[in-house]
């Protein structure tokens, strides 16, 4: 095993943009004064998630859903191995992490969509309530996700957070992605800004 390129630029930039936008939206959720910033942050979440859904189909190998969404048997096997202190190595996302990612993307989209509908005054109090429940659900999954990342980093003795910045992890040379796709990352930034502007205007 050696250090290889696993996460392309769209995955890395998208990740930290999503994490930052969610945090900002969360912190400004209760304030009238910060409403525009809140809507812009929520719009950024929507833009990043929509791009990520497409990138999960056309992106580099480890970014594709087919490479990290596995059935319940694989999830249980990996969790059992972790509990037995014999964690299984995954070069990309592990099986439990893959489902947390799907949940985060789904909740991100639903939270942003319900927030947009509230912003348009499309529903009553129930819609505001639904938006808040979805945002709280997402925060819960984020906390589980961060706990999983810390556990995985300790179990494998590999700094997974640093890998989300550098794109590099341990793996077999044949598992490396060919390039980091900087142009696609620029498209992501332009697209996320356009969606955020359009939703918050
Ligand atoms: C605050 C909201 C956050 C959201 C919504 C979020 C969401 C996600 C998503 C969607 C992915 C999959 C990346 C992809 O394949 O495109 C991911 C992976 C990852 N996230 Fe986060 N994340 C958040 C916060 C954090 C934080 C605070 C950390 C640092 C502790 C972190 C560390 C990571 C790491 C290391 C991975 C890769 C895991 C692996 O190696 O399989 N995330 N996150």
CA 18 to chain centre: 6
Domain that holds residue 183: 2-200
Q: Torsion-angle region of residue 59: left (phi > 0), alpha (psi -120 to 50) or beta? A: beta
**Residue among 21, 185, 12 nearest 111 (CA):** 21
Let me know: does 45 contact 111? Beta carbons within 8 Å: yes
- Supply the DSSP symbol for 172: -
**CATH number of the domain to which 60 belongs:** 1.20.950.20
Can you give the pLDDT at residue 113? 97
Tell me the per-residue pLDDT of 114-163, one tens digit each, with 9 for 90 and over: 999 999 988 889 999 999 999 999 999 999 999 999 999 999 999 999 99
Can you give the pLDDT at residue 61? 98
Can you give the pLDDT at residue 121? 86
**Count of structural domains within the chain:** 1
Can you give the pLDDT at residue 124? 87
The number of the ligand 1 atom at minimal distance from the alpha carbon of 94 is 41
Can you give the pLDDT at residue 201? 87
For ligand 1, the distance from its centroid to the CA atom of residue 125, given in whole angstroms, is 32
For ligand 1, the distance from its centroid to the CA atom of residue 166, given in whole angstroms, is 14
Can you give the pLDDT at residue 7? 98
Can you give the pLDDT at residue 116? 96
**Positions of the chain with pLDDT under 70:** none
For ligand 1, the distance from its centroid to the CA atom of residue 165, given in whole angstroms, is 11
Q: Is 98 in the pocket of ligand 1 (CB under 6 A)?
A: no
Spatial separation of the C-alpha atoms in residues 136 and 127, rounded to whole Å: 14
Return the axis-axis angle of helices 125-156 and 9-28, rounded to nearest 10°.
Answer: 130
């Amino acid at each position: 095993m050696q250090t290889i390129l696993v996460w392309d630029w769209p995955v890395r930039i998208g990740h930290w943009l999503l994490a930052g936008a969610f945090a900002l939206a969360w912190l400004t959720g209760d304030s009238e004064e910060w409403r525009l910033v809140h809507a812009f942050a929520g719009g950024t979440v929507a833009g990043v998630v929509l791009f990520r859904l497409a990138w999960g189909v056309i992106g580099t190998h480890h970014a594709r859903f087919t490479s990290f969404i596995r059935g319940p048997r694989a999830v249980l096997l990996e969790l059992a191995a972790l509990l037995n202190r014999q964690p299984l190595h995954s070069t990309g996302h592990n099986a439990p992490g893959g489902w947390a990612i799907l949940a985060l993307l789904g909740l991100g989209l639903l939270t942003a969509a319900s927030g947009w509908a509230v912003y348009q005054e499309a529903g009553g109090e129930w819609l505001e309530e639904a938006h808040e429940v979805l945002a709280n659900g997402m925060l819960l999954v984020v906390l589980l996700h961060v706990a999983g990342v810390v556990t995985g980093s300790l179990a494998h003795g590999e700094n997974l957070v640093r890998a989300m910045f550098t794109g590099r992890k341990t793996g077999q040379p044949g598992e490396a992605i060919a390039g980091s796709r900087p142009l696609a990352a620029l498209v992501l930034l332009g697209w996320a800004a356009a969606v955020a502007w359009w939703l918050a205007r």
